[in-house]
Each structure stands twice: as structure tokens, then as C-alpha cells.
């Protein structure tokens, strides 16, 4: 018994000593390596930066010391990739050229075939930063990787490199069965921007339903006028999700000529479509929509009312006036005026030097009061701001306005 | 049989069982450490710098409401809010809930941020105490301050949930410091598994000994006093050696109230925070587990090891005793409430492993430990003590204790390395050794005391509830 | 008089520093908001190039402080940041920054803008 115990104690003790030693050795090694890295980096970095800032056609190797160790080569690659994150234009092209000359691009392409998925993902990521066209084909092939994390990094890299050959597989990837991958691919396409529009329009009909929704979203967020035709057609689609997306997209594009189509969508059977149409009408800012939006404040759905209120708030003076004496959804209307700090603005306008502004402010506050909407904030503003504002506001509130009879 | 022989038999039996118990306990710890080790390695390799950039810039990133319950925090609240407003994240709001403070917490906020009363409309989804007013700032549109009558931390958090606008909320203690990039890091699992994620907790580190300027940790250091240093080691062990492991076994039971991110709709579905619990954070996570397990939905509650929340720990025994007492009572309370999950195969690893672990080791452990010391003394007087064996056993126990602490320090060294210097390393290892002589025993005593208090209070509560009273207000933000 | 670069990222500081140095400017670096303010007061630089995301006092605060102090009010400020949201740009310019460039940036463009600001001040 005692012997066994002694053995156990020895084993655990040895394990403990080993662990402590492992920590110490690990730390010492790391610190040493970092110290060497720092020293070499201090030497290499200025040379690399000088190459990047120069205008001559001398390759990077001309700026570096003759003989480079493996550590040096790794550091040069690291420095170039770090710089690649912060610059664009000419300097960026010089980085790509340097990385191609340095063998980094080829190395990363080789590691795309690694068995370890982290390594594949890492290399795909680096290739995006390197922006070498040589990498397009291997990256497109990587879009079939079994690992979603790897696919998404390949997609991101392709989005950075751009060009038709890299965009087409991205558009196809919108149909990725994993919803989340699809969303991220959509984002990559948005970052690609105008260059992706033609591919998206051409491929739209061939895409499955959920990919179409993403495609409409992407087109809207790229704000391409070329997509308006497709969006208008989609407002008539039997699928309500597509109609809602299309309405949303038209709002993002913001062409005020699409107002009539959106006003029509404001009477859609499905409330998500109505809500999106209201939001879109607010975005494109066509005052012709005011009567319909006012009407939409009666909608049974909270979201439609909220979006309509917000839209009206954004539609200038006329829209705000429409909000004041709205006979329904008053709470909503006032909270819109509140959030937009419109009441506050009028209160401070009361002391404006411009007589017209002053008059307008008085009229406005009058009407707010008339519809019995003297709210907390107005009162507070009267208590808090400077003397002159307080007096002016007091005057307005004292003199009975034309609509005062309607006060309950 | 004489009395003596019965006593001898009992002591011998106990001693044998203690050895089994000891073996099992350390086996489980070791296993947990190994799981944690691989998880940390995986995590470090999986972390891409560019992911955080993407999260920051993406329009798909979930907006977050940061909820800060504040009870008499006038001293630090302004600094806390300032540092929260400067957090590196896309769309977020800070909801401070002034929980009936009797000091100038509200006044200081109103003054500093030029707050004005608004009539913000919100839905009272969760029942909470009366709200006196909601304030907003003109210069800081993402700051909202709710002033309400005192209802305890859980009530304050629930109010914050009601008022908050965004689909995710992050609970933050008013006296804690969130690192600048903590939100980006803690939201990452929500970006990766948007359908399944329910809650995520970050690591809590100890601010004692660090230099803090304007609500930001500018230099990391270790505390000067011994009590907080022991807690640094204890926290490292609990988070890196424990929670990471539990998280990868999909049975994380604790997300610290000081810093946790939750999906609002799920929290609302379980009725929000529970005001009658001593540790509302633990109770919430258990409720979420029970509810989600029952609903059969695939879900994730995870621990993310790199978003850091810095918090101050007690530096005196008196405060530490009170804190641990509350924690342990809360644990007992929650275990009791969710006893149906215990050893219930429907609840998977949680029911079969995590909860039994908490019952067997966290709850009974202190008794075994304290009783063990008594038995050793008894054995000695009865002449039963095999001194050789006893000494070896004690050495083994200390070795194991040190082993786990050193292992946690190793995990820290290979992954996050927040403590940069050699002197930090030496001090942490030293503390890992010394804590076995005194600190651990004291903690065990605290827990035994908490068990006693728990039993007493349960009776007291039952009586008070029948008479329609509520428990007298203890300082809600304690800890 | 040097150009002050305030950025939390050491690579950015060194890269921009090397770029400016190679173009004949003297450069001073600051890693956070407080260091930037201190350097701006002591060195009286001819231009401050700063990120709005800075540890401690953020870039907006730095701009605010420099612009409200009569001594440093005329010191030209230019933002260089990854923050590309409209609000941030508008806010920085509104507080008094002369120019706002988004990272990643073109080095030639950066130099051209810096030259323009410095010539205007003359």
C-alpha cells in the first residue's frame, strides 16, 4: 500500500514538475523568438517600406539584404500582409508584385490543399490579402470545400480579388444551402459593388428562391439603377417575401420615379410588403406619397404604422404637418416627432432671429398643442432651456391657438 | 462491541471513502482540464483577426443593448458609462437602470450627459417594479437611463430588458470594466450560429493591482495583497480550466452576471431574471437550459475565453465571506429548484454530468474536506493514523491542488498571456502552491456556513412568503 | 516642426511614418489619445494625423480638445481611420478636422492631401 502510494506521489510530482518546466521553457522560447523577430523586423521593415514608397521598377529583393533566412522570409511576408491591410491603389499593386516575386502567393496556393482546415482557411485569407490573380482558379476550386468556414474565406478572398472569373462563382454561392454562408456571401458581393451587378442580373432567373431574395438585397444595397427594372417586376411576384425584398431594394436605390410602384405596394395583401413599401417611400423622399402614408397610419399592423410614421417624419415640412393632426395612431405620430427632435427644434426656433422661422415655429407648436399633444418633452424644454425660449414658449402656450377648441 | 470499536469502524470506513472521493474528484478535474486544453488550442487557431474587422463593419452584425443595473454607484458610474460608450462596436445602446439608488447616481448621470426626460414607449414584457422616468441624452443618442424604484438587481435587469431596443442584450456590472473589443469577441458565436446561439459569457479577470485610467485598464498587474492574488489563480482555474471545458461539453451552467450576452427573446421566454434568487445569473442560465432542453430546440450556451471583463474582488476576509456565502446559497437554491434535471437523461450531459458534479463536489466537497480534517485528528488520537500514509496522502493532495492551478497558468500562457512578466508567472505559481495551506480550507468553511444559512433561510422564507413579506433588502449589487 | 501621427496600430504608425519621412517630413508618433494631446501641446506639430478609434480619449475627443484650446485651435487635423460610416466622417469634420481619409488609403492621395493642407496654412 505504502509503496503504491509513494509511486503515485512520485508520478504526480513528476507531472507537476514537468508542467512547470513546460511553462517556463515555452515562455522562454517564445520570448527569445519574439526578441529575434523584433530585431530582424527593425532591420527589414524600413527596407520593405522603402520599396513600397518608391516609384522605381526595382523589385523588392533589391532593397533587402542579400541572404534571407526562413525567419526573414516569413517576416517580410508578414510585413507585406500587414501593409496590405492599410493601403490601396499603387502601393497595393506593389505589394502584390512583391508577394508574387517573393514566392508567398505560390506557397499559399500550395497550402490550400493542406489537410488541416485551419491551414486552408488561413491560406485562403492570405490569398485574398495578396490579391494575386494567380489565386483565382484555386480559390474557385476551394469554394467546393466540405468545410463551410473554408468556403466562406475562399469567397471573401475572391470578393477582394474581383474580376468576372471570381464573381461568377460568388453569385452561384448565394444558393449555398447554409443560410448563414449565403448571408455572408451576399455581404461579400455588396462589397464588390457595381462590378457584381451584371453577373447578378444575368443569373437571377437561374437562382433558387432563397438566393433570389439575397440577390435582390444585394442589388438594392449596391444601389444600382440598372436593377430597377427587375425590382419592379418582382413587386408583382406571387411570393410575398420577394415582393417585400423588392420594395425594400427600391427604397435603398432611392429613385423617386419608383414612388407610384411603391404606393401601389402599400396596399399589398401581405403586411411585410406594406411595411417595406412604407419604409422605402420614406427613403426615396417623394412627397407625392404623403397621402398614402397618412392612410397607412391606420394599418392594423404595428410595423406598417411605425414605418409609415418614420417615413412621414423624413418627408420634410409637409410630412411632419401630416403627422401632427393625424386622427389615429397619435402616440406613434408624436413619438416620431419626439425622436426626430422636431418639437425640440421648433421650440428653439421660437427665439430665432428670422421672423419667418419664428412664425413657422409658433404655428407648428400651436398645432401640436391643438391636437392635445403638449407632451412631457415640450414642457421640460420650457423649464430647462434659456430664459428667452421659456418666455416665448409660454406665450405660445397661453394664447389659445386656432385649433384650441378641439382640446379635450 | 464497544463504543470505541464502532468509532474505529466509522473512522476507517470514512478514511477509505475519502480516498475514493479524492480519486474521483481529481480524475474529473483532470478530465475537465484536458478537455479545456484542447478547446483552448482550437480556439486560438480558429481566431482570425479579420473576423473581428468583418463583424465591426458588417451590416448583419446584431445590434446589442448593454444593460447596466446600478445601485448606489455614484462613485464610478460616470466612468463606467463613458467607457461603455467608447466600446468598439457597430450598433449598440447603453441602458443604465438606476435601481432606486439612495446616493447621487442619477444626478451625476443627468449632469454629465445632459440627460432629459423623455416619454419613450416600451413594452412591459417582463413584470418589474415601478419606473419613475426614462432619460435620454442629446449628445449621446445611444445612452438611455431608466430611473426606477428599488427592486433588486434582477428587477433592474428585467427593466433594462423591457426598455432595450435590440435583439441581444449584454449584462454588465456597474463596477466592472469591459475591454474595448469585448463585444466584438463575445458576439462572434452569435454570428457563426445565429439560429442556435442563446447566451455567451466572457472571462472575468481581476482588476486589483491593475492600473486603471478613465475606465480603461492601461497596465495589467497582479494585486499586492495575498487574498486577491489567490483569487486570481482561483479565477484562472475556474474559467480556463473549468468553464471552457463545460462549454465544450455543451453544459455550461454559469455565465457571470458581470459580463454575459443573451438573446433577448429566449430570456423573455423563461420570464427574465428571477428576483427571488440569490444569484440571478446562475438561475437564468439554468432556467434557459431547462426550457430549451424541454422544447427540444438545438441551442448553444457557450463560454468565449477572450472577451475580458475586469472586476474588483474582495480584499478582506469579511467581504469575501459575504460574497462566497451569497454565491453558494444561490447555487444551492438553483440546484434545489432544478432538481428535476438532476440525473435526468433527457437533459443530456447537464443532467448526467454537470449537475451531479455540482452536487457531489461543489456542495458536498466542503463537508468532506472539513470532516476529513476532523477525522485525521480523531484517527491520530485513536492511534489509527498511519503517519507515513497520511503524510504521503497530504503531499499527494497538495500536489494535485498545485497541479490544477499550474495547469490553469499554463493554459493562460499558451493562449491569452495577459500577465506578461516573469515575475507574474512566478507569483502565480507561488500562489498556486500557497493557496493549499489556508485559503482553500477557508473557502470550504464559507461553503459549509452557506449550507447552514441556506437551510435556515429556506424555512424563514417559507414563513415570510405566507405572511406576505419580502426578504429584507440586502445590498443587491454585492459581489 | 514634425507631423504627429496618432494611431493605436504600430504598423500604421511606422508605415505612415516611413512614408512621410521618405518625403522629407519629420514625424512623431503617439499610440493613444492622451499621448497625442500631450505631444500636440509640447511639440506644436504642423499637422496631426489621427485615427478616430484610439484607446483612452478617442479621436473625436482629441479633436474636440485641440479645437477648443486657443493655443492649438489653428493646428490642422486630419483623420485617417478604418471607420467609414457617414456619421463618423460628418462628426469629425463637424468638430473641426480639415480632412478625413478612410483606411485602406492610397499613399499618393494621402501625400497630396497633406501637402494641400500644409500649403493652405502658409
CA distance C118 to C122: 7
Q: Which residue has the cell 440569490?
A: B278
CB contact under 8 A, C106 and A49: no
Q: What is the C-alpha separation between B330 and B279, in angstroms, rounded?
A: 5
Integer Cα distance of A357 and A352 in angstroms:
7
State the nearest Cα–Cα gap between A188 and chain B, in angstroms: 10
The pLDDT value given to residue A388: 64
What torsion, rounded to 10 degrees, do the Cα atoms C19, C20, C22, C27 define?
Answer: -120
Residue C116 has a CB neighbour count (10 Å cut-off) of 12
As given in the structure block, the three cell numbers for residue C83 are 471607420
DSSP sequence for B252-282: -----TTEEEEEHHHHHHTTSS-TT-SSHHH
Give percent of chain B above pLDDT 90.
45
Q: Which residues of B touch A125 (CB under 8 A)?
A: 48, 50
Neighbours of A238 (CB within 10 A): 6
How much is the pLDDT for B12?
84
State residue A28 phi and psi, 5-degree precision: -65, -45
- End-to-end Cα distance, chain C: 13
Query: Model confidence over A350-383: pLDDT tens digits?
Result: 777 777 877 777 777 777 665 544 454 455 555 5
C-alpha C64/C-alpha A211 separation (Å) is 46
Phi-psi region of B358 (alpha: psi -120 to 50; beta: other; left: phi over 0): alpha
- Please determine, for residue B434, whether its predicted confidence score (pLDDT) is greater than 70: yes
Distance from CA of B216 to the nearest CA of C (A): 7
pLDDT above 80 for B77: yes
Cα separation, B268 vs B212, whole angstroms:
35
Of the candidates A93, A94, A100, A149, the one whose C-alpha atom is nearest the C-alpha of residue A127 is A100
pLDDT band at B387 (very low <50, low <70, confident <90, very high): confident
* Ranges A101-110, B214-223, B452-461: which has the least confidence: B452-461
State the pLDDT at residue A97: 92
Closest partner residue to B86 (CB to CB) among C34, C58, C84 is C58
Is A234's pLDDT higher than 90? yes
Question: How far apart are the C-alpha atoms of B333 and A378, rounded to whole Å?
Answer: 49
pLDDT tens-digit series, residues A8-54: 889 888 988 998 898 899 899 999 999 999 999 999 999 999 999 88
Q: What is the pLDDT of residue B16?
A: 84
Closest by Cβ to B216, choosing from C53, C55, C84: C55
**Cβ-based contacts of B54 with chain A (< 8 Å):** 156
Confidence of residue B121 (pLDDT cuts 50, 70, 90): low
CB neighbourhood size of A183 (10 A): 17
* Average pLDDT rounded to a whole number, residues A152-170: 85
Sign of CA dihedral A166, A167, A168, A171: positive
pLDDT, tens digit, 9 for 90 and up, residues C68-106: 998 888 899 999 998 888 888 999 999 999 999 998 899
Mean pLDDT of chain A: 84
Residue of A nearest to C18 (CA): A49
Q: Is B176 helix (H, G, I), strand (E, B) or coil?
A: coil
CA C2, CA B324: separation in Å to the nearest integer? 56
B475 phi and psi, to 5 degrees?
Answer: -60, 115
Interface contact C15, partner A, CB < 8 A: yes
ipTM of the complex, rounded to two decimals: 0.90
Q: Where are the domains positioned within chain B?
A: 63-317
Which three-class secondary structure state does DSSP give residue C50? strand
For residue A279, give the nearest of A300, A239, A250 by alpha carbon: A250
Q: How far is CA A121 from CA A74, A112, A241, A316, B305, in A?
A: 18, 8, 34, 50, 22
Superfamily of domain B63-317: Spore Coat Polysaccharide Biosynthesis Protein SpsA; Chain A (3.90.550.10)
Which structural domain, as residue segments, surrounds residue C104? 3-120
Summarize the confidence of residues B432-441 as an average pLDDT: 90
The whole-model pTM stands at: 0.80
State whether residue C108 sits within 8 Å of chain A by CB.
Answer: yes
pLDDT of residue A403: 39
DSSP conformation letters of B204-228: EEE-TTSEEETTEEEE----SSHHH
CATH label of the domain that carries residue C97? 3.40.50.2300
pLDDT of A255 higher than 50: yes
- Count Cβ–Cβ pairs < 8 Å, chain A vs chain C: 48
Dist CA B64 CA B166 (whole Å): 6
What would the grid cell of residue A264 be? Answer: 401601389
Q: Is A140 left (phi over 0), alpha (psi -120 to 50) or beta?
A: alpha
Contacts of C14 in chain A (CB under 8 A): 45, 49
E strand or H helix that includes residue B21 = helix B3-46
Amino acid at each position: 500500500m505504502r509503496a503504491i502510494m509513494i509511486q503515485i506521489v512520485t508520478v504526480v510530482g513528476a507531472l507537476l514538475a514537468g508542467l512547470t518546466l513546460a511553462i517556463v521553457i515555452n515562455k522562454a522560447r517564445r520570448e527569445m523568438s519574439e526578441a529575434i523577430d523584433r530585431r530582424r523586423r527593425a532591420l527589414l521593415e524600413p527596407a520593405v517600406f522603402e520599396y513600397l514608397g518608391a516609384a522605381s521598377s526595382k523589385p523588392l529583393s533589391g532593397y533587402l539584404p542579400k541572404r534571407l533566412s526562413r525567419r526573414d522570409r516569413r517576416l517580410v511576408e508578414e510585413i507585406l500582409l500587414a501593409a496590405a491591410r492599410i493601403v490601396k491603389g499603387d502601393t497595393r499593386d506593389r505589394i502584390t508584385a512583391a508577394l508574387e516575386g517573393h514566392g508567398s502567393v505560390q506557397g499559399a496556393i500550395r497550402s490550400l490543399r493542406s489537410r488541416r482546415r485551419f491551414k486552408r482557411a488561413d491560406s485562403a485569407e492570405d490569398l485574398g490579402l495578396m490579391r494575386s490573380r494567380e489565386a483565382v482558379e484555386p480559390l474557385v476550386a476551394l469554394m467546393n470545400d466540405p468545410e463551410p468556414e473554408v468556403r466562406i474565406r475562399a469567397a471573401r478572398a475572391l470578393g477582394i480579388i474581383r474580376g468576372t472569373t471570381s464573381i461568377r462563382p460568388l453569385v452561384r454561392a448565394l444558393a449555398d444551402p447554409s443560410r448563414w454562408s449565403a448571408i455572408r456571401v451576399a455581404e461579400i458581393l455588396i462589397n464588390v459593388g457595381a462590378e457584381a451587378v451584371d453577373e447578378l442580373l444575368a443569373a437571377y432567373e437561374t437562382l433558387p428562391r432563397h438566393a433570389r431574395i439575397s440577390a435582390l438585397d444585394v442589388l438594392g444595397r449596391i444601389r444600382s439603377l440598372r436593377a430597377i427594372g427587375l425590382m419592379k417586376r418582382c413587386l408583382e411576384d406571387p411570393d410575398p417575401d420577394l415582393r417585400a425584398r423588392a420594395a425594400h431594394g427600391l427604397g435603398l436605390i432611392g429613385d423617386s420615379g419608383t414612388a407610384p410602384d411603391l404606393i401601389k405596394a402599400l396596399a399589398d395583401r401581405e403586411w411585410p410588403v406594406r411595411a417595406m413599401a412604407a419604409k422605402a417611400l420614406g427613403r426615396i423622399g417623394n412627397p407625392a406619397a404623403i397621402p398614402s402614408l397618412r392612410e397607412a397610419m391606420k394599418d392594423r399592423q404595428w410595423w406598417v404604422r411605425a414605418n409609415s410614421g418614420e417615413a412621414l417624419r423624413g418627408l420634410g415640412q409637409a410630412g411632419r404637418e401630416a403627422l401632427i393632426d393625424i386622427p389615429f395612431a397619435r402616440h406613434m405620430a408624436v413619438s416620431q416627432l419626439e425622436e426626430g427632435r422636431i418639437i425640440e427644434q421648433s421650440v428653439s426656433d421660437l427665439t430665432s432671429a428670422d421672423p419667418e422661422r419664428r412664425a413657422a415655429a409658433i404655428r407648428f407648436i400651436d398645432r401640436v398643442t391643438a391636437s392635445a399633444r403638449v407632451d412631457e418633452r415640450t414642457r421640460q424644454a420650457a423649464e430647462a432651456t434659456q430664459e428667452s425660449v421659456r418666455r416665448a414658449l409660454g406665450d405660445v402656450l397661453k394664447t389659445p391657438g386656432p385649433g384650441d377648441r378641439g382640446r379635450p | 462491541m464497544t463504543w470505541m470499536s464502532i468509532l474505529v469502524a466509522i473512522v476507517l470506513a470514512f478514511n477509505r471513502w475519502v480516498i475514493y472521493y479524492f480519486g474521483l474528484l481529481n480524475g474529473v478535474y483532470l478530465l475537465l482540464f484536458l478537455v479545456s486544453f484542447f478547446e483552448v488550442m482550437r480556439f486560438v487557431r480558429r481566431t482570425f483577426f479579420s473576423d473581428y474587422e468583418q463583424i465591426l463593419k458588417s451590416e448583419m452584425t446584431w445590434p446589442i443593448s448593454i444593460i447596466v443595473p446600478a445601485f448606489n454607484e455614484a462613485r464610478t458610474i460616470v466612468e463606467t458609462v463613458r467607457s461603455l460608450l467608447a466600446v468598439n462596436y457597430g450598433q449598440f445602446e447603453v441602458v443604465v437602470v438606476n435601481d432606486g439608488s439612495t446616493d447621487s447616481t442619477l444626478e451625476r448621470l443627468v449632469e454629465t450627459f445632459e440627460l432629459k426626460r423623455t416619454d419613450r414607449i416600451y413594452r412591459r414584457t417582463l413584470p418589474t417594479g415601478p419606473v419613475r422616468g426614462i432619460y435620454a441624452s442629446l449628445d449621446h443618442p445611444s445612452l438611455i437611463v431608466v430611473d426606477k424604484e428599488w427592486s433588486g438587481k434582477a428587477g433592474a435587469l428585467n427593466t433594462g430588458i423591457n426598455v432595450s431596443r435590440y435583439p441581444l442584450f449584454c449584462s454588465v456590472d456597474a463596477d466592472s470594466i469591459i475591454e474595448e473589443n469585448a463585444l466584438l469577441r463575445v458576439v462572434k458565436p452569435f454570428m457563426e450560429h445565429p439560429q442556435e446561439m442563446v447566451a455567451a459569457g466572457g472571462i472575468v479577470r481581476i482588476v486589483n493591482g491593475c492600473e486603471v485610467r478613465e475606465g480603461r485598464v492601461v497596465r495589467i498587474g497582479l494585486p499586492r495583497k495575498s487574498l486577491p492574488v489567490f483569487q486570481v489563480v482561483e479565477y484562472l482555474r475556474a474559467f480556463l480550466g473549468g468553464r471552457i471545458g463545460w462549454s465544450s461539453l455543451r453544459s455550461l451552467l454559469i455565465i457571470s452576471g458581470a459580463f454575459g450576452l443573451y438573446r433577448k427573446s429566449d430570456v423573455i421566454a423563461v420570464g427574465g431574471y428571477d428576483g427571488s434568487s440569490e444569484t440571478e445569473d446562475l438561475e437564468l442560465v439554468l432556467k434557459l437550459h431547462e426550457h430549451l432542453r424541454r422544447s427540444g430546440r438545438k441551442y448553444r450556451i457557450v463560454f468565449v475565453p477572450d472577451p475580458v471583463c475586469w472586476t474588483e474582488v474582495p480584499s478582506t476576509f469579511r467581504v469575501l465571506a459575504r460574497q462566497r456565502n451569497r454565491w453558494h446559497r444561490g447555487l444551492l437554491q438553483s440546484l434545489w429548484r432544478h432538481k428535476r434535471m438532476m440525473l435526468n437523461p433527457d437533459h443530456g450531459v447537464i443532467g448526467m454530468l454537470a449537475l451531479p458534479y455540482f452536487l457531489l463536489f461543489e456542495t458536498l466537497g466542503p463537508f468532506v474536506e472539513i470532516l476529513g480534517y476532523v477525522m485525521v485528528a480523531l484517527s491520530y488520537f485513536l492511534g489509527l493514523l498511519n503517519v507515513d500514509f497520511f503524510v504521503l496522502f497530504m503531499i499527494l493532495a497538495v500536489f494535485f491542488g498545485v497541479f490544477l492551478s499550474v495547469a490553469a497558468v499554463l493554459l493562460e500562457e499558451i493562449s491569452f498571456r495577459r500577465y506578461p512578466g516573469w515575475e507574474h508567472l512566478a507569483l502565480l505559481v507561488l500562489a498556486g502552491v500557497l493557496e493549499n495551506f489556508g485559503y482553500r480550507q477557508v473557502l470550504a468553511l464559507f461553503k459549509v456556513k452557506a449550507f447552514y444559512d441556506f437551510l435556515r433561510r429556506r424555512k424563514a422564507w417559507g414563513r415570510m412568503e405566507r405572511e406576505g413579506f419580502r426578504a429584507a433588502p440586502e445590498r443587491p449589487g454585492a459581489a | 516642426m514634425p507631423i504627429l501621427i496618432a494611431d493605436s496600430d504600430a504598423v500604421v504608425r511606422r508605415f505612415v511614418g516611413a512614408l512621410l519621412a521618405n518625403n522629407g517630413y519629420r514625424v512623431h508618433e503617439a499610440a493613444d489619445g492622451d499621448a497625442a494631446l500631450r505631444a500636440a501641446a509640447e511639440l506644436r506639430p504642423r499637422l496631426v494625423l489621427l485615427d478616430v478609434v484610439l484607446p483612452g480619449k478617442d479621436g473625436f475627443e482629441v479633436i474636440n480638445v485641440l479645437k477648443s484650446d486657443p493655443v492649438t485651435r489653428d493646428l490642422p487635423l486630419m483623420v485617417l481611420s478604418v471607420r467609414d460610416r457617414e456619421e463618423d466622417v460628418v462628426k469629425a469634420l463637424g468638430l473641426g478636422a480639415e480632412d478625413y481619409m478612410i483606411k485602406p488609403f492610397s499613399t499618393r492621395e494621402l501625400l497630396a492631401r497633406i501637402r494641400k493642407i500644409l500649403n493652405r496654412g502658409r
